[in-house]
Structure 1
């Protein structure tokens, strides 16, 4: 087992401090109103240190959202053998919404959605190489091969519809404040979509 040097430990601590400071500032002031200089000042680091760890402000979101992709990978391993594709998609949606609600929170999700509107070639939501897209796509293909899901649309088109349903539910959660039950609404929405693609 390799051990980190004191320098590597310090670098990890600096990165974590920059990340946490930036996310806190984004949540309080909005992504557009926070500068790299402000992040550096508040985190008591340097501009050089910032750019060693992050290419831009937006990359801070990508770093945070890597945790979500790790969550999806763990989720896949928890599914019992023999679970239908529909049930897998329902369980994934449920687990995703619980995780985002309880571990990331509405303020961070709102900030992420606002920043996603800024033109950026590395836009997290449109990246089909993300773990979420790959997992949903595998469920859809599996469902089509098993005769559970229609074949009139391609597996990629259906994957996009399902992930659009997920994003739309999260967007509404940000819009409707406390009156919106993220878990209940996501389940209603995804069940309607799944009924529409059922073979």
Structure 2
């Protein structure tokens, strides 16, 4: 395998610095109050260097969510194959909430959601994009539950998945707006279990 050149390593370092600085500034000042000029000035790089890695400042969030979705895909591979689909969903969501709480933190998630709510959401938005690994994982579990007759008929895979993913987004939203006494892992489990019980045969 060929080693990375000094130029490529420098490019990776620049991209990482732009990403981390952008996220930090979004949190401190609010997404709408941060410009590309401010991000590059804080990183001591040119504006052209920014556009080598990102088309717009929105792409900084998209890049972060790629990292998050890589975690989801990796975790999915470790879920036991011989348990029920509903158990897989609960195990997956528990790991997701622990990851968001312990690795990303409420401040970053609050920034992401606040900025998402200030925009017009379409199906390609990073929080709702059906091609995200997150949604593909949940769809696969729901499809499995339907095929194994664990879930009752009447809803398509897409409809059932939409209900289950609303548990996730709703719990994250409540975690953001409520105080530290809100246990995001426990609340996610309770909320999702209730919905899953309604879907079971």
Partner residue in 1 for 2:103: 103
TM-score in terms of structure 2 length: 0.96
Evaluate the alpha carbon distance shift between residue 132 and residue 163 of structure 1 in structure 2; reply closer, same or farther with a 3 A threshold. Answer: same
**What is the RMSD of the two structures over their aligned residues, measured on CA atoms?**
1.0
Aligned 1:5-16 pairs, distance under 5 A: 5-16=5-16
Partner residue in 2 for 1:169: 171
TM-score in terms of structure 1 length: 0.97
- For structure 1, the residue ranges without an aligned partner over 5 or more in a row are none
Q: In the aligned structure 2, how far is the partner of 1:104 from the partner of 1:163?
A: 19
Aligned 1:46-195 pairs, distance under 5 A: 46-117=46-117, 118-119=119-120, 122-195=124-197
Report the CA distance between 1:32 and its aligned residue. Answer: 1.2
Report the CA distance between 1:76 and its aligned residue. Answer: 1.2
- For structure 2, the residue ranges without an aligned partner over 5 or more in a row are none
Partner residue in 2 for 1:33: 33
Aligned to 1:179, the other structure's residue is in SS state: coil
Runs of 4+ with >3 A deviation: none
